[in-house]
Amino acid sequence: MHLRHILIIFTLASCWSTVSGVDLAEARKRLGTPDPATIPWPDGVPPSQALVDLGRTLFFDRRLSAKQNQSCASCHNPELGLSDGLALGIGTNGNRVGRNAPHLYNLAWSTVLYWDGRMTNMDEQATKPIQSKSQMAMDLGELEARLRGVAAYRTAFHSIFGDPAAPADGSAITRERLGQAIAAFERTLVSRDSAFDRHLAGAKDALMPEAVRGLDLFLGKANCIACHSGPNFTDDSFHNIGVKSADAGRAAIVPGALAQNAFRTPGLRNIALTAPYMHDGSIPTLEAVVRFYARGGDAPTPDTLVRKIDLSEGDIRDLIAFLSALSDPLRIPIPAVP
Amino acid sequence: MFTGLPSFRSVARCPAGGLLLLALPVAATAATVEGTFTFTKLTPSVALVYLPEDTGALPQEVAISHKNKAFTPRLAVGAPGSAVLFRNEDTAQYNIFAEDKELKISFDAGISEPGSSVEQKVTWPEGTVLRCGCKVHPAMEVYIAALRSRFVATVEFAPGQKTASFSIPDVPTGATLVRVWTPRQPATDLKATPSAILDFTHKGATYGSVAVTIKP
């Protein structure tokens, strides 16, 4: 074969697999479908169905807020992408919460919690918004008493945690177990059957051509994969992406130059359902998010990952198409609260 | 205390499930410490096995690289006074730090740019282990053990890995005391005459064990 022909074939092959010098096949390996077998359960043991069911009921129970006017599901609403559709949430007293309510999809794998990562233990975290003055503003001692007054909770906690020989008198209801139950339910909120997952599994017609091009941009020129990596599209790390904000973010927990104004990378599963975006809910749509990154953010940042990206209008459309292909809305049965 | 031993250091390392033996000079009269960790759940990220009675290791340079939001190795060993060199081999930035009130260690390397290095001396007490991390990549962790022992095995578990074997060659004949450390529980001494088993327990339940044998 003539050398020139060989070079042309080689060049074509290179174009096929790389964008901006990125090996797309290699980059794809940094994504995936989450495997429930890898969930890091507390003490290494999956919860019982009874505990999950109890947690689900508590999650939807408005008794958990001081004024009994909102439940966990008020800010993590299954119909609103397990968020609330608001830039900043609303507390039991009608006040604004300081940050955007994050979605809860695939939180079971998360190694850090909250926008600033101030907690790592879901069982312990689950009761914090209940106590938070700006959120549910409920004293846990009062809540224990409130729940002990409900026969169905006395029975449920006793059957899961209590001594079978003892009466179901409500003594099995404790704040720690409340947290365990809610977190057990939250760990079941696993999204893993999106169009993208079917594409990964080999379904040739799973993704629209726009989404396929969007995936290549995600891995290549736009370099979203630098932070939104892994089966849940998050590196569980903190980045200052250049949102104009006075919020110190991670630096309030761990002071440091890179931590200043840095926030936890949100997972992107069901991201099309969870608008508005960013820690302060300041960006209303996915289109606006992509344009924000394309212009290199709105505020100076020391993070060198954030820089202008030359995206055409078609590129922007394709990225949105790909991000929307990560949707797998969960059907979450709303329990009858006792 | 062992005396009259050559001043080498035998480190058997088990990265991500494979067994890799490094630097194995042969002593005149020597035995081998062998063992296997087995976990049913709660597998630790790393484990350390060493002969605590030896004090022959000298300060040296300990290289730790960070790339793809992970340290390599994830468990390092250096005698007190050693210089630990953190090398950023990534295209991303990091902020290496340690904060350990018990060991009274607090350092913040600031922004580590791609290609740069920062040095930290091993100033924490002999026999203790410092955890270092990154301020913006909280899943990253590396444990650095301050040890004067020359007879050490480090084990690194991959996600999902349940068992790992280790070997410390060329240990002095007659040695029986073996110390085992994992991040979840304090260092524990075993008398291997010639074998011993240590169970790992959590909330009263056993989740794993290590079997150690000293072979002549």
Identify the CATH number of the domain in which residue A317 sits.
1.10.760.10
Which residues on neighbouring strands pair with residue B197, listed in sequence order? B211
pLDDT band at B12 (very low <50, low <70, confident <90, very high): very low
CB contact under 8 A, B136 and A256: yes
Judged against a pLDDT cut of 70, whether residue A233 lies above it is answered with yes
User: What whole-number distance in Å separates Cα of residue B68 and Cα of residue B45?
Assistant: 17
Query: DSSP 3-state assignment of A254?
Result: coil
Q: Answer yes or no: are the C-beta atoms of A134 and A320 closer than 8 Å.
A: no
Residues of chain A with pLDDT > 90, as a percent, come to 90
Q: Answer yes or no: are the C-beta atoms of A306 and A297 closer than 8 Å.
A: yes
Which residues of B fall within a CB distance of 8 Å from A304? 92-93
User: Which candidate in A43, A223, A254 is best for mutational testing of the B interface (most B CBs within 10 A)?
Assistant: A254
Is some CB atom of chain A closer than 8 A to the CB atom of B138?
Answer: yes
Q: What mean pLDDT is predicted for residues B36-61?
A: 96
CB contact under 8 A, B159 and A250: no
CB contact under 8 A, A259 and B95: yes
Q: Tokens in use for B144?
A: 């650095």
Q: Which helix (H) or strand (E) holds B117?
A: strand B117-121
The pLDDT assigned to A212 comes to: 97
Task: Give tens-digit pLDDT for A57-116.
Answer: 999 999 999 999 999 999 999 999 999 999 999 999 999 999 999 999 999 999 999 999
Eight-class DSSP state of B135? S
Contacts of residue A244, Cβ cutoff 8 Å, sequence gap at least 6: A282, A298, A299
The pLDDT assigned to B20 comes to: 35
CB contact under 8 A, A44 and B207: yes
Judged against a pLDDT cut of 50, whether residue B16 lies above it is answered with no
Specify whether B16 is located in the same domain as B97.
Answer: no
CB contact under 8 A, B92 and A302: no
Of B92, B136, B205, the CB nearest to A250: B136
Number of domains in chain B: 2
Which residues of B fall within a CB distance of 8 Å from A176? none
Task: Show which of A186, A219, A244 is a domain's final residue.
Answer: A186
- Tokens 């449920």 appear where? A156
The pLDDT assigned to B203 comes to: 86
Task: Show which of B105, B131, B147 is a domain's final residue.
Answer: B147
Residue numbers of the domain that contains A74: 40-186
Judged against a pLDDT cut of 80, whether residue A316 lies above it is answered with yes
Distance from CA of B29 to the nearest CA of A (A): 44
What burial class does residue A157 get, using C-beta atoms within 10 Å of its C-beta: 0-12 exposed, 13-18 middle, 19+ buried?
buried
User: What whole-number distance in Å separates Cα of residue A331 and Cα of residue A114?
Assistant: 24
Judged against a pLDDT cut of 50, whether residue B210 lies above it is answered with yes
Specify whether A51 is located in the same domain as A29.
Answer: no
Residue B15: name the closest of B85, B86, B65 by CA.
B65
Edge to edge, the sheet with strand B195-202 lists B163-172, B30-39, B205-215, B195-202
pLDDT band at B15 (very low <50, low <70, confident <90, very high): very low
Q: Which helix (H) or strand (E) holds B145?
A: strand B141-146
CB contact under 8 A, A257 and B138: no
CB contact under 8 A, A38 and B207: no
Residue in chain A closest to B202 (alpha carbons) equals A43
Task: Give tens-digit pLDDT for B148-189.
Answer: 999 999 999 998 899 999 999 999 999 999 999 999 888 999
Which residues of B fall within a CB distance of 8 Å from A256? 95, 97, 108, 110, 135-136
Q: Answer yes or no: are the C-beta atoms of A329 and A192 closer than 8 Å.
A: no
Q: Tell whether the torsion through CA atoms of A62, A68, A69 and A70 is positive or negative.
A: negative
Which residues of B fall within a CB distance of 8 Å from A120? 138
Specify whether B81 is located in the same domain as B42.
Answer: no
The pLDDT assigned to A18 comes to: 53
User: What whole-number distance in Å separates Cα of residue A18 and Cα of residue A68?
Assistant: 55
User: Which candidate in B38, B135, B201 is best for mutational testing of the A interface (most A CBs within 10 A)?
Assistant: B135
pLDDT band at A1 (very low <50, low <70, confident <90, very high): very low
The pLDDT assigned to A127 comes to: 98
CB contact under 8 A, A236 and B108: no
Q: Is residue A26 part of a domain?
A: yes
Contacts of residue B141, Cβ cutoff 8 Å, sequence gap at least 6: B45, B71, B74, B131, B132, B133
Which residues of B fall within a CB distance of 8 Å from A235? 69, 137
Which residues of B fall within a CB distance of 8 Å from A39? none
The average confidence (pLDDT) of chain B is 88
Distance from CA of A2 to the nearest CA of B (A): 39
Task: Give tens-digit pLDDT for B117-138.
Answer: 999 999 999 999 999 999 999 9
Q: How many CB pairs under 8 A join A and B?
A: 63
Q: Is residue A203 part of a domain?
A: yes
Specify whether A169 is located in the same domain as A220.
Answer: no
User: What whole-number distance in Å separates Cα of residue B5 and Cα of residue B51?
Assistant: 13
Task: Show which of B130, B147, B164 is a domain's final residue.
Answer: B147
Q: Tokens in use for A165?
A: 């020989």
pLDDT band at A20 (very low <50, low <70, confident <90, very high): low
CB contact under 8 A, A305 and B137: no
Specify whether A147 is located in the same domain as A243.
Answer: no
The pLDDT assigned to A19 comes to: 53
Contacts of residue A56, Cβ cutoff 8 Å, sequence gap at least 6: A185, A332, A333, A335
Of A38, A44, A262, the CB nearest to B136: A262
Q: Which amino acid is at A65?
A: S
**Interface pTM, i.e. ipTM:** 0.81
The pLDDT assigned to B185 comes to: 86
What CA–CA distances, in Å, run from A192 to A29, A188, A270, A320? Answer: 16, 11, 10, 19
Q: Which helix (H) or strand (E) holds B199?
A: strand B195-202
The pLDDT assigned to A2 comes to: 52
Which residues of B fall within a CB distance of 8 Å from A305? 92-93
Specify whether B124 is located in the same domain as B107.
Answer: yes
Query: What CATH number is associated with residue B162?
Result: 2.60.40
Specify whether B62 is located in the same domain as B48.
Answer: no
User: What whole-number distance in Å separates Cα of residue A129 and Cα of residue A125?
Assistant: 8
Specify whether B18 is located in the same domain as B97.
Answer: no
Residue numbers of the domain that contains B134: 58-147
Residue in chain A closest to B138 (alpha carbons) equals A237
Of A250, A254, A258, the CB nearest to B111: A258
Specify whether A178 is located in the same domain as A201.
Answer: no
Across A18-27, A114-123, A283-292, B69-78, least confident range: A18-27
**Which residues from A are below 8 Å from B when comparing CB atoms?**
38, 43-45, 111-112, 117, 120, 226, 235-239, 250, 254, 256-259, 262, 302-305
Q: Answer yes or no: are the C-beta atoms of A209 and A11 closer than 8 Å.
A: no
Query: What CATH number is associated with residue B139?
Result: 2.60.40.420
Q: Which amino acid is at B22?
A: L
Torsion angle of the four alpha carbons B143, B147, B151, B157, in this order, in degrees rounded to the nearest 10: -10
Specify whether B92 is located in the same domain as B121.
Answer: yes
Of B92, B94, B138, the CB nearest to A236: B138
User: What whole-number distance in Å separates Cα of residue A174 and Cα of residue A127?
Assistant: 11
Which residues on neighbouring strands pair with residue B97, listed in sequence order? B108, B133
The pLDDT assigned to B55 comes to: 95
Residue B194: name the closest of B63, B34, B76 by CA.
B34
The pLDDT assigned to B160 comes to: 86
Distance from CA of B123 to the nearest CA of A (A): 22
Is some CB atom of chain A closer than 8 A to the CB atom of B42?
Answer: yes
Q: Is residue A8 part of a domain?
A: no
Q: Answer yes or no: are the C-beta atoms of B170 and B30 closer than 8 Å.
A: yes
The pLDDT assigned to B3 comes to: 31
Judged against a pLDDT cut of 70, whether residue A13 lies above it is answered with no
**Which contacts qualify for A296-301: CB closer than 8 Å, 24 or more apart?**
A296/A242, A297/A241, A297/A242, A297/A243, A298/A242, A298/A243, A298/A244, A299/A242, A299/A243, A299/A244, A299/A245, A299/A261, A300/A242, A301/A240, A301/A241, A301/A242, A301/A261
Specify whether A32 is located in the same domain as A44.
Answer: no
